[in-house]
Structure 1
Amino acid sequence: MPAFPRAELDQMIDRWLKENQRCEEAGDWRPLAGMYTEDATYGWNVGPGQDFMAVGREEIRDIALGQEMAGLAGWEYPYQKFVVDDRAGEVIGFWRQLAGATRPDGSRYEVAGIGGSWFRYGGNWQWSWQRDFFDFGNVSALYLEMITDNALSEGMRERIRRATSGRRLPGYFRRGQSPVPIW
């Protein structure tokens, strides 16, 4: 892994944050795909038996940022902190997951715990690798709370219908069988 100047990595983070904000406001994260190399990979674990992996910019656009973010319009993912390793060209960003809906007491629905993304910089203002981490149990608990409270948007309802349809969705693999490893 090549070293990169710290100032360049800091500028990449700034660009990433601005584009994230723009996409969040639009409710469409697919334009973020332009911030990945053509051969980038993006994945995460989905519990004890399943991983998600998108390989290449087009899969990242269509599956990771399209399919997987569908139904999440109004959600916010504010980054709280970044840790930068300029020797390895890697960045870890810690974020929160806040739903657009609010509870009867006025507080926002939020996934408990810490979420984050581990990026590898590929130069030219693009990530070459990303792995997300979050507590899937906390995500599931929040979705169940929102279902019980009748607080789901139609997009979220469709998201849950798609996920529980019984058909295998693109990008999902049995643990250890994705086209590239999580690690």
Structure 2
Amino acid sequence: MPAFPRDELDAMVAHWLDTNRRCEEIGDWRPLADLYTEDATYGWNIGPGQDFMAVGRDEIRDLALGAEMGGLDGWAYPYQSILVDERGGEVVGFWKQVADARRPDGTPYEVAGIGGSWFRYAGNRQWSWQRDWFDLGNVTAVFLEMMKAGALSDGMKRRLERASSGEPVPGYYRRGETPVPLW
């Protein structure tokens, strides 16, 4: 793992957070793809039998940041804490998942538990990989609560229909069969 100057990594994190905030504002995360190398990978686990993996900047743009974030326009992912390892060129960020929809009592729908991203820096203001984690049980609980309250966006309804169609979903693999290792 290459070492990087701490100032360079701190500048990358600031650039990432700024770009992430702008993407949240426009409801489109695809511009974040420019912050990955051409051959970067981005993946996460989806439960005991399934993983997601996007390989290359185009798949990251189209699948991870496009299709997978589809329906989450209006959601915010505020980072709560960020840890930087300049010796290993790695960054870990802990974030929340907060919907723009509100409960009848006025509080926002928010995924409980801890979510986060682990990044490997490649230099030149780009990540070479990203791995995410989140509490799937809490995500499911919030989506079900929103569904029962009629608070799901049309995009989220389409995304859930796609997931439950029985058709293969690009980027989804049986556990342990991703094109590159998840961990």
Q: Same fold (TM over 0.5)?
A: yes
Opposite residue 70 of structure 1, the aligned amino acid is: G
AA of the residue aligned to 2:87: R
Q: CA deviation at 1:153?
A: 1.2
**Deviation of residue 156 (structure 1)?**
1.2
1:51-130 equivalence runs, <5 A: 51-130=51-130
Separation in 2, partners of 1:168, 1:103 = 33
C-alpha displacement of 1:180: 0.3
- Structure 1 match to 2:38: 38
SS class of match (2:28): coil
Mapped partners of 1:146, 1:164: distance in 2: 17
1:161 aligns with 2:156: no
Taking only the aligned residue pairs, the percentage that are identical comes to: 70
- Residue matched to 1:182: 182
Q: 1:170 corresponds to which residue?
A: 170
CA distance in 1, matches of 2:43, 2:144: 24
d(CA) in 2 for partners of 1:8 and 1:53?
Answer: 27
Aligned length: 183
Equivalent residue of 1:71, what SS?
coil
Structure 2 portions without partners, runs of 5+: none
Deviation, structure 1 residue 155? 1.2
TM-score by length of 1: 0.99
Q: Deviations over 1:2-46 (max 9, x none)?
A: 000111000000000010011111111001000000010000000
TM-score by length of 2: 0.99
* Partner in structure 1 of residue 150 of structure 2: 150
The superposition leaves residues 76-134 of structure 1 with CA deviations (integer Å, 9 ceiling, x where unpaired) of 00011100111000000000000110000000000000100000000000000100000
Matched position secondary structure for 1:84: strand
